[in-house]
Amino acid sequence: MKKFSAFSILKEGLTGNKGWKPHWKSVEPKEEYEVIIIGGGGHGLATAYYLAKNHNITNVAVLERNWIGSGNTGRNTTIVRSNYLLNESSKLYEHSLKLWEGLSKDLNYNVMFSQRGVLNLAHSLQEIRDSKRRVFANKLNNIDAEWLDSNEVKKYCDILNISKSSRYPVLGATLQKRAGTARHDAVAWGFARAACNYGVDICENCEVTGFNIKNNKIESINTSKGSIKTKKIGVVVAGHGSVLAQMAGFRLPLETHTLQALVSEPIKPILDCVIMSNAVHVYVSQSDKGELVIGAGIDSINSYQQKGNFSVISGQMGSLVELFPVFSKLKMLRTWGGIVDISPDASPIIGKTPIEGIFFNGGWGTGGFKATPGSGWVFAHTIANNQPHELVEPFSLNRFYKGKLIDEHGAAAVAH
């Protein structure tokens, strides 16, 4: 693999850019692997990378039914933050945020991680209390967090409307300065390239269609490219978790919904932070291309369609224009949807399954992009050691039978 550097860019620039090679190779699957990862999104690719890098396990395949990054990884609005309320979640997401901070260097691939700051707005007295509580909780967990009153919010983002006559006035916000955005495609490609460099096979257009299980142990899987033997499988398929679990014969508490997003026409730089509001349900940032990247909540019905309801978009546009009157004349360029796996407590499910050798990582719902490196790290550890990483012990499937839910919903600003 060719190492990227300022020197290689200069050299290629002077010699007609003819020396660049594909960043990774998509190959046909072999007959057998030590570990098979199902799902070539960011989480699956990161898992393969850390299996190789941290645990020396390189006889690994990542099987992706479409092309890598074609799922939620390439469809999300890329907000990365770690200001969750509960200890279990904040530890997990902060571990991931720390990895983001060194990721471009570690992968030798620019994932364009931009720590531009994320503001979570508060619009009512109760929200002020909840937000301050979250700031205190974050500080106790050594996560950077600040409370800003409405004038300080205005100073941080001067195009935001803080008028008292708004239907839901901005009364303040929490700020995490280390939070921000990253380039989603680059995350998939960077992990793929780095994993490939360790000898991991990346097999695209390879759909898993069934499991062969004997005495409650996995022996092989069926795919659109034939059957493959293995003793260990990591299932990391986002919205398709329940489909794979049904093939393997166990149950999950997940529901699959469409989550939509949209971008505006590109404009000159106007917004240099991320603004999120749970109460009026919209969030927005500006991409490097100049488009506003806008999102909100899920469509209410169960759906495996990467296409949603227009009423959800019109609702969030109303909120956007109230918060930013300056955007009212902007044209929207395109909309899309991804299918997200919503868990009952808005927390992921990671660890062993009732089938020996099958490990599960899912339920990240609307907010897993931020966890990509951390999720791969802890999942690789879990698969390699047959034992959950200490950060994910509380996130086992078993918590739904023990009543030990990690109820982030509503408690923190867990929209994304």
Partner 1 sequence: MLIINCPYCGERDESEFHYGGEAGITRPGHPDKLSDKEWGNYLFMRKNTKGLFSELWFHSAGCRKWFIVDRDTVTNEIVSIKEISKKI
Q: List the one residue from 153, 182, 203, 261 that touches ligand FAD (CB under 6 A).
A: 261
Among 105, 129, 133, 251, indicate the residue that binds partner 1 (CB under 8 A): 251
Establish if 253 lies at the interface with partner 1 (CB under 8 A).
yes
In Å, how far from its chain's centre is CA 156?
26
Q: Does 36 bind ligand FAD (CB under 6 A)?
A: no
d(CA 131, CA 218): 46
Q: By three-state DSSP, how is residue 166 classified?
A: coil
Q: Which residue, chain included where needed, has tokens 């023990």?
A: 402
Choose the contact partner of 126 out of ligand FAD, partner 1, none; CB within 5 to 8 A by kind.
none
**Residue of the chain from 309, 330, 393, 409 that contacts partner 1 (CB under 8 A):** 309
Q: Radius of gyration over alpha carbons of the chain, in Å?
A: 21
Query: Cβ distance 186 to 110 under 8 Å?
Result: yes
Q: To the nearest whole angstrom, how small is the minimum distance from the Cβ of residue 66 to ligand FAD? A: 5
Q: Which is nearer to partner 1, 169 or 344 (CB)?
A: 344
Calculate helix-pair angle for 87-101, 372-385, nearest 10 degrees.
110
From the list partner 1, ligand FAD, none, pick the one residue 261 interacts with, judged by a Cβ distance below 5 to 8 Å according to partner type: ligand FAD
Q: At what angle do helices 42-55 and 372-385 cross, to 10 degrees?
A: 50
Tell me, residue by residue from 266 to 305, as one string, x for binding to ligand FAD by CB under 6 A and - for no binding. -----------------------------x----------
Q: Which of 78, 303, 347, 382 binds partner 1 (CB under 8 A)?
A: 303
Q: Which of 29/71 has CB closer to ligand FAD? A: 71
Q: What are phi and psi of 114, to 5 degrees?
A: -125, 105
Out of ligand FAD, partner 1, none, what residue 370 binds, judged by CB under 5 to 8 A for its kind, is: ligand FAD
CA distances in angstroms from 159 to 100, 271, 319, listed in the order given: 29, 8, 14
With CB under 5 to 8 Å by kind, the binding choice for 256 among ligand FAD, partner 1, none is partner 1
Q: Please name every residue paired with 79 in a beta bridge, in sequence order, or none if there are none.
A: 181
Residues in the chain: 416
Among partner 1, ligand FAD, none, the one that 401 touches (CB under a kind-dependent 5 to 8 A) is partner 1
Looking from the CA of 22 toward its CB, the CA atoms found within 13 Å total 6
Do 96 and 375 touch, CB atoms closer than 8 A?
yes
Interacting residue ranges for partner 1, rule: CB under 8 A: 240, 242-243, 251-256, 300-305, 309-311, 344, 400-403
Contacts with ligand FAD by CB under 6 A lie at 38-44, 63-66, 70-73, 75-79, 207-208, 236-238, 240, 259-261, 295, 338, 340, 364, 366-370, 416
